[in-house]
Amino acid sequence: MVAVASRIRLEDRECPLSTTVQHVGEWWTLLILHDAFDGYRRFDQFQESLGISSSMLTTRLRTLVEDGLLERRPYQTNPVRHEYVLTALGHSLRPVVVALAAWGNSRLAPEDRSMILVDARSGEEVEPVVVDARTGRRLDDSDAYVFTAGPAAGDAMRDRYAGRASRTGGTN
């Protein structure tokens, strides 16, 4: 087995954005997850939907299982066949995928959107936004909401956000 260098810089290894991108930042991975959210579970379903090569799909599914986002379960014994089921951790990524799709749609005229998010009961289109759970305020204002070093931050993270404490009321 050949060791592959990590795509994450040493100083970013504690950054939640960098570690998340390491797991789901690859194009095929997001599309496989999207299909899984739509109910696809079997290798042939993913392959037919995505037009992905068998070897690439095998690699991506293996990684998603290793990362704990999908669980590989047998559904047939002779011959043995497996399906790939979202785990709780995998399900927790749905809002991220929804937000990415909404961002993509926001750049298009309504008549140019090939996929939209709708309320399952009413069929009405919805506009996904990311909000603070406590206040309900939208988080897309970079002046109102900023990142700062958290309690477990190392020196590199603290250096990156030095000076933010005075603006956020936190401590470094």
Backbone angles phi, psi at 53, to 5 degrees: -70, 155
Question: Both tokens of residue 167?
Answer: 């603006």
Q: Token pair of 58, please? A: 């095998």
pLDDT in tens, 129-144: 999 999 999 998 888 8
> For residue 95, how far is the Cα from the chain centroid?
8
| Among candidate residues 133, 116, 134, the one with its CA nearest the CA of residue 124 | 116
Digit-coded pLDDT (tens) for 2-34: 444 455 555 566 777 777 777 677 788 999 999
pLDDT band with cut points at 50, 70 and 90 for residue 162: confident
Q: What are phi and psi of 102, to 5 degrees?
A: -65, -40
Indicate the pTM of the whole model.
Answer: 0.78
